[in-house]
């Protein structure tokens, strides 16, 4: 399941980039609206990248189970923890982006 490890790491990197762009969107909100909108758009694209990779992780896990394999409990616990972090990170970024329109 090296793919799952790579996917989890790559998803986190995408979300870190999305957060960086969301912060930049706020930084330029009052001084350069076009740059702010561009950064917000890029943040959304980074979230979309993370979501695509997440779907791939789900597909791999589903196929693994369909083949009759069962992941060890420790692996399930790690994935559940990583998944919860991803969901929380996306929620924080989306909140930052929503605040731009407030």
Q: What is the pLDDT of residue 70?
A: 87
Mean pLDDT in runs of 10 for the chain (102 residues)?
90 98 97 98 98 94 89 84 94 96 79
Question: What is the model's pTM?
Answer: 0.90
Residue with tokens 């980039």: 17
| Rounded CA separation 9/84 (Å) | 14
How far is residue 34 from each of residues 29, 30, 73, measured CA to CA in Å?
8, 10, 48
């Amino acid at each position: 399941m090296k793919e799952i490890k790579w996917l989890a790491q790559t998803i986190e990197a995408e979300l870190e980039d999305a957060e960086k762009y969301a912060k930049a969107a706020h930084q330029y909100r009052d001084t350069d609206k076009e740059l702010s909108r561009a950064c917000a758009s890029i943040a959304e694209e980074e979230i979309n990248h993370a979501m695509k990779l997440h779907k791939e992780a789900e597909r791999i896990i589903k196929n693994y189970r369909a083949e009759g394999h069962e992941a060890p409990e420790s692996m399930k616990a790690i994935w559940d923890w990583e998944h919860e972090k991803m969901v929380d990170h996306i929620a924080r970024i989306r909140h930052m982006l929503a605040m731009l329109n407030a």
